[in-house]
A and B are shown apart, each in its own frame.
Chain A
Amino acid sequence: MSNRAKLFLPVVFFLGMLGLLLYGLGRNPGEVPSALLNRALPAFSKPDLLDPARTVSVDDLRGGVFLVNVWATWCPPCHVEHPYLVEISGREPDVTFVGVNYKDDVEAARTFLAERGNPFKINIADVDGRLGVDLGVAGAPETFLIDATGTIRYKHVGVIDNRVWQETFVPLLAELR
């Protein structure tokens, strides 16, 4: 390389870095990916939120498409998301909606579902948050899609609204069926 050519190295390096930063602008730095993607749903055994005498285990989430929504009454965005979940749960008969009530006051959670509608066929009470840790949950709401083989196929962090549902979940569900 000639001596003059070497002087172009800084500007070339800088343009490369600019490209990287441009790429960086188009993405969301806050979303932590799930390490469990395309892996089996971890084994668990937790009490039913509405019927504490009953135990829900991983075997109850087999043989169909499941949408697992991690929620809590202390989480304001969950309140926003709830009506939409109620709405779509009625529209999607072949998807089983599962609610994981995460680190919540169980009584408050029952009242919440009684008053605002219960979109979930299965309700799991995760009072100590262990199931949340096993799922790699970092907060609420988070939503997982489980396929018929019990494999986690997608994780969504944040509120599900009509746009997210139509753009992300509908195509994925079509694929899973």
Chain B
Amino acid sequence: MNNSRAWILVAVIVLVTAALRFLPFLIFGGNRKVPRIIDKLGRVLPAAIMGMLVVFCLKDVTVGSYSGWVPAFVGCVAVGVSYVWKRNTLISILLGTLAYMLLVQLVF
């Protein structure tokens, strides 16, 4: 993609992100009460979106050949096991990425 197009997309992301951050303060800046459905979405949406993003990241996985799924599977297991064990985001990310990179570069 050429560079001017990249800048346009970045501008869109900047605007939407800032709008999302400012909107609550603009709408509920007075003493207006937060509606219950918004309140509920605030509690349940984050978990669902994270689930969706994990699936989004794994969308290129295929089951036809070992190289299509083994690296991602091993990477995810490394992240999962280390995270449940240590609860340290950084350690898990490094371990999982390292395992994945080694597998795609050296084994498959």
Partners in one complex: no
